[in-house]
Amino acid sequence: MEVKIGVQNAPREIVIESSQTADEVQSAVAKALEGSEKIFALSDEHGRRIIVPAERLAYVEIGESAARKVGFGTA
């Protein structure tokens, strides 16, 4: 699923494809914002970790988990 992370004072957002579920991402965001975690961390599909200081989070957009279409067909 695609996750977009907005970071304060950064001109671009971070966009990753994560294998985590929407509920797992939402739980990580909630923990970071409530103060129980100092960082917000996610893993992408390739095993790389994205770490953002919790106080710098501007927004997190969680996309739908849908299979990617391959090819040029419309079906």
Q: How confident is the model over 23-38, as pLDDT tens digits?
A: 999 999 999 999 888 9
Token readout for 33 is 């914002």
Q: What is the pLDDT of residue 36?
A: 81
Identify the CA nearest to 15 among candidates 4, 27, 30: 4
Average pLDDT over residues 40-67: 88
Write b or e for each residue in 34-43: b if 16 or more Cβ atoms lie within 10 A of its Cβ, otherwise e.
eeeeeebebe
The structural domains of the chain, with segments of one domain joined by +, span 2-62
The pLDDT of residue 67: 59
- Alpha carbon separation from 68 to 2, 7, 14, 15, 42 (Å, rounded): 11, 27, 20, 16, 21
Q: For the chain, what is the mean pLDDT?
A: 87
Is a pLDDT exceeding 60 seen at residue 66?
A: no
Domain 2-62: CATH class, spelled out: mainly beta
